[in-house]
Amino acid sequence: MDAYLGFLPVCIVLVFAIPTLFMYAWTINTAFADGLPWADLRNEAFKTTRASLRQVFNCKMVLQDAYTKFSKKGQPFVVSDSSFQPQIMLPREYIKWLTAQPEAVLSIWPIRSKRRALGAMMSTVDHKTTIAFLDKIVGRFLTSNLGNVQADVSDEMGASVDAALGFDEERWHEVNLMQTFKKIGDRTGVRALFGLELCRDQHFLRVLGHYNTLMGIGILLSGHLPPIIRPIGALLLVLPFQFCKARFKNLLTPVIKERMQQVACEPDDATLEAKSQDFLTQSVRVIMKDKRNACQSAGYVADQFLVLSFATLASTSLVASNLFLDIISSAPSLFAYELLRSEAAKIFESERDWADPVALKKLVLTDSAIRESLRLSSIQTRGFLRAVVSPDGLTLPNGTHVPQGTWLGVPVQAVHMDGSLYDEPYEYNPVRFAKMRSAGYEKVDATDTSDTFLGWSYGRYACPGRWFAVQNLKLMIAYITLNYEIQPIGKRPESVVFGDANVPSMSTCIKVRRRKRT
């Protein structure tokens, strides 16, 4: 009886919620896209509601089918969404047009507030100010100084990988893929962001991990909830997140105050070697040199680094997990793991090479393997979401006029699987882009963006931290392949699809052992 009573509240919620959702679906505006075909809209009762709910787990398949049916012919199409906010998916040929539209016509901010739930999750932060801050700090300054932190990152990469994978050269042992790469990514990321002391502080890493996890869950779930139940769902997600956020900020603020004092006491003629090179300290230097920002408090800087920490670290475990899954499940005839190890052995002949930015540029095959994984195993099924904010609406290149409030986007993963753009698009070929480079193709580095490669987005909102991410991934591949063996797997485990997200299964495990030195 107690067990039944435990399910009673859930049953009551379902009894009221399900009919409410179906009734709410009658309010979905389908007239905004007159003349455009709808994906997966079947001839059935409550067809828009059911199509919207199917998007929770079927988004990847629906977008791929619709891309083949419509986008390949240059035709935009409408796709339902679990948030009951239908979206128009544009053909690849429209991407440059889409990204060229002014902010007063097509804006990313309604998407970040509603779809990414930043309005609820980070309500105390002015998001436009924060993005401007991050663009200046990350996009214009830190990226050009990545070489200054490479020695620290490579040092922490070795220490964190060894701690996660162990030293046993005889026995294979099993590790959880996502958890392992999260530990490695968090430690190396914190070393670059905040320095040596914090990256070895287990309490700090634990609080940071909880913060990033709850932030990710909140962004993923809240943005996929229908508006009628979003306030309740958001409240349940935001309350524990705000607690973790406050704990993280309380740990970070005193550190920032200390760095501000250190920078204020630095002599003007201090050498580069004498200065701390972690991103936080570099950022404090930039802020204090800028008269407009010099008066900003440690709390303000902490708020910016709350956002930066999530943006920098949250996707690392996903991308790294996908990358190694792709490598160890690739066709045996490709010898992917062995090729990457051989390249690393030629480049990293001494300890000094690990701190040399030039060495990373020589990792051509590794660079290609990273880009290929980003192509094949995109962590988003669709992207480039923008909202029409002009009161006059917007006319698409094919002449279709859409009103204010319409959401536009691109089926990112379907573009990456287009056989007219990539030979054997469903196969992982680690040397694909290395061969294209040899053939004279331009913009095929792992950090390059184009309208055929959307792993980092494209245009003015392309990921500003991609150079740092690729630096980490190159060092990770080199260190692991040189020092560890990983058992190949015959078939890559299926990714988990939830709405826009396409991520590795959290239960996936791999077998590793320390490589014997001869």
pLDDT digits 0-9 by tens, 359-400: 999 999 999 999 999 999 999 999 999 999 999 999 999 999
Please give the mean pLDDT across all residues of the chain.
87
Q: Is the pLDDT of residue 3 over 60?
A: no
Confirm whether 237 is domain-assigned.
Answer: yes
Q: How many structural domains does the chain have? A: 1
pLDDT digits 0-9 by tens, 180-199: 999 999 999 999 999 999 99
Conformational region of residue 512, where left means phi above 0, alpha means psi within -120 to 50, and beta covers everything else: beta
Q: Can you say which residues are annotated as belonging to the binding site?
A: 463
Confirm whether 56 is domain-assigned.
Answer: no
Confirm whether 93 is domain-assigned.
Answer: no
Q: Is the pLDDT of residue 270 over 60?
A: no
Query: Between 73 and 311, whose confidence is greater?
Result: 73
Confirm whether 366 is domain-assigned.
Answer: yes
Range of the domain at 479: 118-514
Confirm whether 50 is domain-assigned.
Answer: no
Confirm whether 242 is domain-assigned.
Answer: yes
How far are the Cα atoms of 348, 470, 479, 482, 512 from residue 351, in angstroms, in the given order?
A: 7, 20, 12, 13, 24
Average pLDDT over every residue of 268-292: 70
Q: Can you say which residues are annotated as belonging to the binding site for heme?
A: 463
- The CA angle 46-49-55, to the nearest 5 degrees, is 135
Closest CA to 227 of 81, 39, 15, 62: 81
Q: What is the CATH number of the domain that holds 504?
A: 1.10.630.10
SS3 87: strand
Closest CA to 344 of 364, 324, 326: 364
Instruction: Give the H/E segment covering residue 387.
Output: strand 383-388
Query: Between 465 and 233, whose confidence is greater?
Result: 465
Q: Is the pLDDT of residue 311 over 90?
A: no
Structure tokens at 102: 């002014």
With the CA atoms of 81, 87, 92 and 93 taken in that order, what torsion angle do they form, in degrees rounded to the nearest 10?
A: 170
Confirm whether 53 is domain-assigned.
Answer: no
Instruction: Give the H/E segment covering residue 502.
Output: strand 501-503
Q: Are 191 and 281 in contact (CB under 8 A)?
A: no
pLDDT digits 0-9 by tens, 413-450: 999 999 999 999 999 999 999 999 999 999 999 999 99
What local confidence, expressed as pLDDT, does residue 61 receive?
A: 94
Confirm whether 88 is domain-assigned.
Answer: no
